[in-house]
Amino acid sequence: MKPIRVLLMVLVALLGVAGSAIARDPPMRVKDLGKVQGWRENVLIGTGIVTGLAGTGDSPANRTTRQALSNVLSQFNLTVAPEQVSSRNVAVVMVSASLPAFAREGDTLDVTVASSGDARSLLGGNLLLTGLRAPNGRTYALAQGALSIGGHRYDANGNVVQKNHPTAGSIPNGATVEVGMASPPAAPAQVTFVLNEPDYTTASRVVAAINSQVAAGIARARDASGIEIEVPAPQRQETVSFLARIENVSVEPDRRARVVINERTGTVVTGGDVRISRIAVSHGDLKISIENQNSVSQPAYIGRTGPGVNTALVTNTQLQVEEPTGVGYLAGGGTVADLVQSLARLKTSTRDIISILRAIKAAGALHGELVVQ
C-alpha cells in the first residue's frame, strides 16, 4: 500500500473522531458585539515643523520648509526671507490624531508624526506647537513634544545604516484637547445599538436577550445592524446605569460560515462550524529530479595523437520523475477545522492545505464563504 494512501486513511479516521462533537462558543456581552450609535472617533490633522535634527532634515531646496520656518520666526519679530533660510536641522511634517467620542478639555491624545518633505530621519527631533483640526476647520487639540522614532539612519561617505522607518514617529500623550466633544442629550427617550457585524439572527437574539433580561418590549430590531432600545421614563435621568445594564446582557451571537486564507503568508483562519460534505480527495506532488555528472575522457596510453584528437568532456544526465498520489473518501458531517487539524497532524504544508480547501470549495462540498486575501 502506498504511503500517501495510508496517510489519507489515517486522515479519514482522525476526521471521524474530531467531527463527532463541536464545542459551542460561550455567550458574549452585548458591549462586545457593537456600540451605541454616535459613539465614534474623529480624525484630526495638522501640519507642523520638527526641529533639533542632526542634519537629517529637509534639504535647503525644499521651498515648503523654508517658507514654514520663515513664518514661525516672523511670529517672534524675526524677519527672515524664505530665500535666506538654509538649514537641514528642520523638517515639515504632517501630524494626526484621533479624538474620542467623550473627550474633554485637558485630555491628552497620542500623536502620529510623518515627514512630508525629503528629510532622511526625524530621530532626536522636537515638534513645535501644532494645531490639529477637524474636517470642519476648527482646531480641537494642540500637539507638541519630543518624537519617539524607534529607528535610525546614519550615512557617511556613501555608506548608509538604517533601522526600521526613521521618517515617521509618534508622541505619546503629545496633544492636549482644547475643545471637548458635545455631550449626548441628558435624558434620551431612545438609543440605537449598532452591531459590528450586521446579521439578522444576531440582531434577533440581542433583542430577545434585552427584553428578557432588562425589561419586556423595550428593544426591537430595525434591520440587520440597528437595534432600537426605548429608555423607560424612570431611567431617563440615569442613562449611564441603564446603558451599563444593556452592555452586560449576555447573548449567544450567530456567526457566518467563513474560511479566510492568505496565500502570501500561508495563513488559514476558519470557524469551527464550517461543514464539509462527503467528498473524495486526491492530492499528490510531482517531483522531478535532474542530476548531471560531468566526466573527462582522456586517452591514457597514447604517446602520440593525431591533429584532430583532444580531450572530451562527457555529461551524463539522470532524470527521475516521482508522482505519489492517493485517494481518500471523507464522510459527511466533518468541519473545516477538523480537516485542517488532521492535515496538520500529518505534517501537510500550509500551501497544500490551501490548495485542498480551494478544490473542495470548487467542488461545492465546502458549505461556507471562502475568502482569499
For the stretch 264-319, pLDDT in tens is: 777 888 876 788 877 776 666 555 555 666 676 666 555 566 666 667 766 666 66
Closest CA to 40 of 250, 244, 227, 192: 192
Q: Mean pLDDT in the chain?
A: 80
Q: Give all strands of the β-sheet with 366-367 in edge-to-edge order.
A: 334-335, 275-276, 366-367
Q: Is 308:250 a contact under the CB 8 Å cutoff?
A: no
Residues 6+ apart with CB under 8 A from 298: 311
**Whole-Å CA distances, 334 to 254, 279, 340:** 20, 10, 11
Rounded to 10 degrees, what is the CA torsion of 173, 175, 178, 179? Answer: -80
What pLDDT does residue 126 have? 94
Alpha-carbon gap, residue 69 to 34, rounded angstroms: 46
Q: Residue 23's pLDDT band (boundaries 50, 70, 90)?
A: low
Average pLDDT over every residue of 182-201: 82
Per-residue pLDDT tens digits for 117-170: 888 889 889 999 999 999 999 999 999 999 988 776 766 666 767 777 888 999
Note the pTM of the prediction, 2 decimals. 0.63
Contact 112, 104 (CB under 8 A): no
Distance CA 196, CA 57 (A): 43
CA distances from 337 to 8, 15, 23, 84, 344 (A): 17, 10, 12, 68, 11
Residue 45 has pLDDT above 50, yes or no: yes
Q: How many Å from the N-terminal Cα to the C-terminal Cα in the chain?
A: 38
Please enumerate, as own/partner, the contacts of 208-216 that have beta carbons within 8 Å and a separation of 24 or more: 209/30, 209/249, 209/250, 209/251, 210/30, 210/246, 210/249, 213/249, 213/250, 214/245, 214/246, 214/249
Among 193-197, 275-279, 295-299, 356-360, name the one with the lowest average pLDDT.
Answer: 295-299
171: left (phi over 0), alpha (psi -120 to 50) or beta: beta
User: Cell numbers of 316, please?
Assistant: 551524463
